[in-house]
Amino acid sequence: MSERARREVAASSSGAWKASARAGLAVWLLVAGLPSACTDGSGTQDAAAIPPELRVGEAKFKANCARCHGERGAGTDHGPPLVHRIYEPDHHPDITFQRAAANGVRAHHWNFGNMPKIDGVTPEDVDQITRYIRWLQRQAGIN
Ligand code: HEC
C-alpha cells in the first residue's frame, strides 16, 4: 500500500470512529436527560437544592429570623415573607437588612407590629442571611 493510501485508510477509519462516537454521545445524552425530564414540573428538586455556600446563611436565618419570617422566608403570623416582591433588591437593598437587624423596623408595610432589633447577629451574619434570602428570591423569580 502506498503511503498516501495508508493515510486515506487511517483518515476514513478515524472518521467512522468519530461518527459512531457522536451516535454514542447522542444516546448517552438521551438517557442522561430522561431522569430530569421525569421530575420537570414538580419543582421539588430545585426547592431542596440550597447551594452549599449558602448553608451557613440558611442556619443563621433559621436561628434568628425564621420564627417571624418563616421557613425559607415564607412568612408567619409574627412577620412578613421576605421572599416577596416588596423586598426585591431595588426596593429593599442589602443595607436595609443590616439596618433591620441592627435597629429593628417600625411597622410600615404590614400589620405585624414592629420588628425588634436582633441581638447576637453580626454584620457578617446578616450579610450571609441576606445572600440566602436573595437566592430564595431569585428561585421565586424576584430579582
Ligand atoms: C420578632 C419577629 C421578627 C424577627 C425575629 C425578625 N423580624 Fe424582620 N421584620 C419583622 C416584621 C414584623 C417586619 C415588618 C415591618 C413592617 O411592617 O414593615 C420585618 C421587616 C423586616 C425587613 C424589611 C425592612 C424594611 O426596611 O422594610 C427586613 C429586611 C427584615 N425584617 C429582616 C430580618 C432579618 C434579617 C432577621 C433576622 C436577623 C429578622 N428580620 C428577624 C419581624 C421580625
Of 60, 62, 65, 95, the one to substitute when testing ligand 1's pocket (max ligand atoms within 8 A of C-beta) is 65
> In this structure, which residue's CA is closest to atom 25 in ligand 1?
96
Q: How do residues 54-89 score in pLDDT, each as one tens digit?
A: 999 999 999 999 999 999 999 999 999 999 999 999
CA-wise closest residue to 118 among 98, 137, 134, 136: 98
Look at residue 49 in the predicted model and tell me its pLDDT. Answer: 85
Residue pLDDT, tens place only, 18-52: 555 555 545 454 445 444 444 444 444 456 589 99
What Rg do the C-alpha atoms of the chain give, in angstroms? 26
The span from the CA of 105 to the CA of 115, in Å, is: 5
Model confidence pLDDT, tens digit, residues 88-136 = 999 999 999 999 999 999 999 999 999 999 999 999 999 999 999 999 9
In contact, 129 and 97? CB cutoff 8 Å: yes
Taking the centre of ligand 1 as the mean of its atom positions, its distance from the CA of residue 66, in whole angstroms, is: 10
